[in-house]
Structure 1
Amino acid sequence: MAESQRLFAVLAAFDMPERLVEAVRTIRGQGFRKIDAFTPFPVKGLEEALDFRDRRVPAAMLIGGLIGAAGGFLMQVGTNLDYPLRIGGRPLVAVPAFMMITFELLVLGAVLACLAAMFIADRLPRLHHPIFDTDGFDLSADDRFYLAILADEQFDRDEAGKALAALDPQAIIDVLERARS
């Protein structure tokens, strides 16, 4: 099986988080839309600069929580109607008595839905990413901030390289992706 390599992204390394956020704003202003950033810790303002609007995880949590709460409540109602115990004049469907289990299953449903949505949205488990092969990328765990312009059908390597060079990064790196043929 022969291995060939194709360009996955052009990566620029920065030393300060503020420079990364400014670089993202500049690159987006120049019309690049397929960009990503890699940082060792959360950077304030980066989400807005990247124009990140993916709200699938909170929506999944809401739906999971509602399903969990409804399931917990209906489970208790069904159990009390199937096996009625008339004790002390309490009604069979005693809503205040059902709230503890309903709340616990609401939390459980929201957490499980959150985990599932995060795994799906992040395409996990992903054991390898082309950027992991980049020289020096392991420093992103310490003190480097990376901006990647991802390659697509309309990608021009020279234009992306010039745009990144104008930002005065510490390094500009071509990220190659191994494609099996």
Structure 2
Amino acid sequence: MAINALGLFDAPSSALEAAGELKGAGFEAPEIISPIPIHGVEKVLGKKKNIIKRFTFFGALFGGIGGFALAAGTAVLYVHVTGGRPVIAIPPFLIITYELTILCGILATVAGFFLSSRLPAMRDRVYAPEAAVDKFAVTVECEDSEQFRRAHEILQNAGAEEIRELGGSE
């Protein structure tokens, strides 16, 4: 079972410094919980990849192909020849294709948002209520007690006001 180390700081610069030191010491994915935006977090922790645009693209692609297949399949199964026009005519099918492209793209975007936000939460997350008011928290997941000791030392040297050991994920 993993152990989470949580350090509380008064200043955002101290929290940013601690997160950078943890990242430099080889800890994976330290997180900062803050009541206000901290500029420079991306430089220290690295920018996380946003996968929502991929959900949108593949949802729209699926919707477009599905919309055209639906219209073409319906026209082929229930042939209704009108005025010598082709059974599979592109212009009328574009309306259905467009509508399903937009619909599936939007639904996939919403699904991607919930998945990337990890909602609904299947397990408890590490959180400090003080970080929503006037403190800045730095959390890191440790594999064992030795790694927790190293994280504790780094957080303490960075000026953590309080350091907590929290039960982690299994």
TM-score by length of 1: 0.70
Match of residue 100 from structure 1: 95
**Cα offsets for 1:33-53 (capped at 9, x unmatched):** 242222346555434533354
Answering whether residue 119 of structure 2 is matched by residue 124 of structure 1, we say yes
Answering whether residue 170 of structure 2 is matched by residue 177 of structure 1, we say no
For residue 141 of structure 2, the aligned residue among 138, 150, 154 is: 150
Question: Which 5+ residue runs of structure 1 have no aligned equivalent?
Answer: 1-5
Matches within 5 A, 1:17-166: 17=12, 19-40=14-35, 43-87=38-82, 90-126=85-121, 128-129=123-124, 131-132=126-127, 137-153=128-144, 155-166=146-157
Q: Counterpart amino acid of 1:84?
A: V
Q: Take 1:167 and 1:62, find their aligned partners in 2: how far apart are those partners?
A: 43
Q: CA deviation at 1:80?
A: 2.1
> Aligned residues: percent identity?
29
Q: Take 2:11 and 2:32, find their aligned partners in 1: how far apart are those partners?
A: 13
Considering fraction of residues, name the structure with more strand: 1
Q: Take 1:46 and 1:23, find their aligned partners in 2: how far apart are those partners?
A: 11
Q: Take 2:40 and 2:164, find their aligned partners in 1: how far apart are those partners?
A: 26
**Cα offsets for 1:110-146 (capped at 9, x unmatched):** 33333444444554322651524xxxx2233344332
Answering whether residue 28 of structure 2 is matched by residue 10 of structure 1, we say no
Does structure 2 retain, via aligned residues, the 8 Å contact 1:20–1:145?
yes
Distance 1:150 1:81, change over 3 A: same
Q: Take 2:141 and 2:109, find their aligned partners in 1: how far apart are those partners?
A: 27
Does structure 1 retain, via aligned residues, the 8 Å contact 2:32–2:136?
yes
Question: Which 5+ residue runs of structure 2 have no aligned equivalent?
Answer: none
For residue 159 of structure 2, the aligned residue among 146, 168, 174 is: 168
Number of equivalent positions: 170
Distance 1:84 1:41, change over 3 A: farther
Q: Take 2:92 and 2:51, find their aligned partners in 1: how far apart are those partners?
A: 33
